[in-house]
Amino acid sequence: IFLGYPDADSLSHKELRKVFIRLIREERPDGLLLPDPWLPYEAPSGHVVVGLAGAEAVLFSPLPYFEPKGVTHQLSFVAFYATHRPNTFVDVTSLWEKKLEAIKKHESQFSPQLFQKLSLYLGLRSKEWGEGKGMEKAEAFKVLTPSHLHANVDTLEC
């Protein structure tokens, strides 16, 4: 679902959290896919705000009195991408070229030279993630349950 926010714009954490809660309650997904807001050295504040607001929405969407009020919904999981502590690997071998084509369409983000370097890096990384797991290329995620997102000292090691 495209949220309509301009790239590299200042995002209101609270406003975005409300949008996520509303969408979770309307769409009723099993889980949410977000950028990992706890990735060390992540400079784009938009990535951090989206990840944190989404993670909070996962916690708050089942609470009936949390804004925006409405029919509640409990998600089963949240999957963080661009993570430094993955615990789940998905075979993307058959989708690899589509993935690169999709990334290449972000012309505002990647010049042809930068895209070439990025695709090389991603290719090497995906092979590393798939190694020993029976996958030619894998995508890495940190997949957590909602209970991992609040006062859980073991979450880092999951």
pLDDT at 68 over 80: no
Q: What is the pLDDT of residues 2-58, one digit of tens each?
A: 888 877 678 899 999 999 999 999 999 999 999 999 999 999 999 999 999 999 999
Lateral strand order in the sheet of 31-35: 31-35, 77-81, 138-144, 88-91
SS (H, E, C) the chain: CCCCCCCCCCCCHHHHHHHHHHHHHHHCCCEEEEECCCCCCCCCHHHHHHHHHHHHHHHHCCCCCCCCCCCCCCCCEEEEECCCCCCEEEECHHHHHHHHHHHHCCCCCCCHHHHHHHHHHHHHHHHHHHCCCCCCCEEEEEEECHHHHCCCCCHHHC
Distance between CA atoms of residues 49 and 33, nearest Å: 14
Residue 44 CB-density burial (10 A; 0-12 exposed, 13-18 middle, 19+ buried): exposed
| Residue type present at position 42 | E
Q: Indicate the average pLDDT of the chain.
A: 95
Say whether pLDDT at 75 is over 90. yes
Q: ∠ CA 101-80-100 to the nearest 5 degrees? A: 10
Domains of the chain: 13-157 (3.40.50.10320)
Rounded mean pLDDT, 95-104: 97
Geometric angle at alpha carbon 91, from 113 and 33, rounded to 5°: 75
What is the reported pLDDT for 123? 98
pLDDT-based confidence at residue 107 (cuts at 50, 70, 90): confident
Q: What is the distance between the alpha carbons of residues 54 and 18, in angstroms, rounded to a whole number?
A: 9
